[in-house]
Amino acid sequence: MPMKIILKRMHTHFYRYSVAFFFLLVRPILYFLSQKQSRFKYINGFRRFIIFYSTVVSGIFFNIDYEVAVDWKRTYIICGNHTSNLDVSAINLAAKNNHCFIGKEELLSNMVLGFFFRTIDITVNRDSKMSSFRAFKTAAERLKDGVSVVIFPEATIPEEYPPVLYPFKNGAFRLAIELKVPVVPITSLNTWKILWDTGNEYGSRPGICDIFVHKPIETAHLTVDDADTLRDEVYEIINQKLGAA
């Protein structure tokens, strides 16, 4: 095996152990805070703590640019492309409000991610229509309570390397229109170059992840018949940004 691959896989293990270390460091506090009604604010804060320090010691940094100043006092549906576990970290750092993620239920078995999905995030079995219905029902309740929801509308990580942007599902956009919640597209430009997917095949390396937060798209004037149009608009915004990178 080439030395370059060995070093990249060693870096992946170091990064994972760093995440586990900082998670275990604050786990007792997280468990206590998870019982609180205001748990979203505090748990998201500690999640940022874990992300920041585990990536810094691993030599991974985030350069986050905003197209406009986002009013994080408002509630949003946040949609991003997804090629790396670092996309979750990037959005958690970029979104300065209370938010939760929708993710596959297999993540419940992960020591770190499982805690967050059992406390503030939402799991879904993508092969079950009933599970998807329950997940979006929960997401709607969170949005009504002022908690933003992060959804990766590709619903999977692309298998191709380098990645391509897969077609978007329209559930997130229908929900945004039904609740009149703005959509914030976020483009992860190169996280896959730093850590591809989980890092199992290509490993990871130190570097700077470039993230672009687009201006919010208002939905108050739209009807559910516009869901596909909104979906295509967000897709093109992200795809054009990727193409210009």
| Residues 111-161: tens digit of each pLDDT | 999 999 999 999 999 888 899 999 999 999 999 999 999 999 998 888 888
The predicted model scores a pTM of 0.95
Alpha helix ranges (H) inside 68-163: 86-94, 111-119, 129-144
Q: Name the 3-class secondary structure at 148.
A: strand
CATH architecture of the domain with residue range 3-244: 3-Layer(aba) Sandwich (3.40)
What is residue 205's predicted lDDT score, i.e. its pLDDT? 96
Domain ranges within the chain, ordered by starting residue: 3-244
What is residue 178's predicted lDDT score, i.e. its pLDDT? 97
What is residue 137's predicted lDDT score, i.e. its pLDDT? 97
- CA–CA gap between residue 119 and residue 114 (Å, rounded): 9
What is residue 4's predicted lDDT score, i.e. its pLDDT? 87
Give yes or no for a cis peptide into 162 (omega within 30° of 0): yes
- CA–CA gap between residue 8 and residue 212 (Å, rounded): 26
| Tokens coding 158 | 């692309």
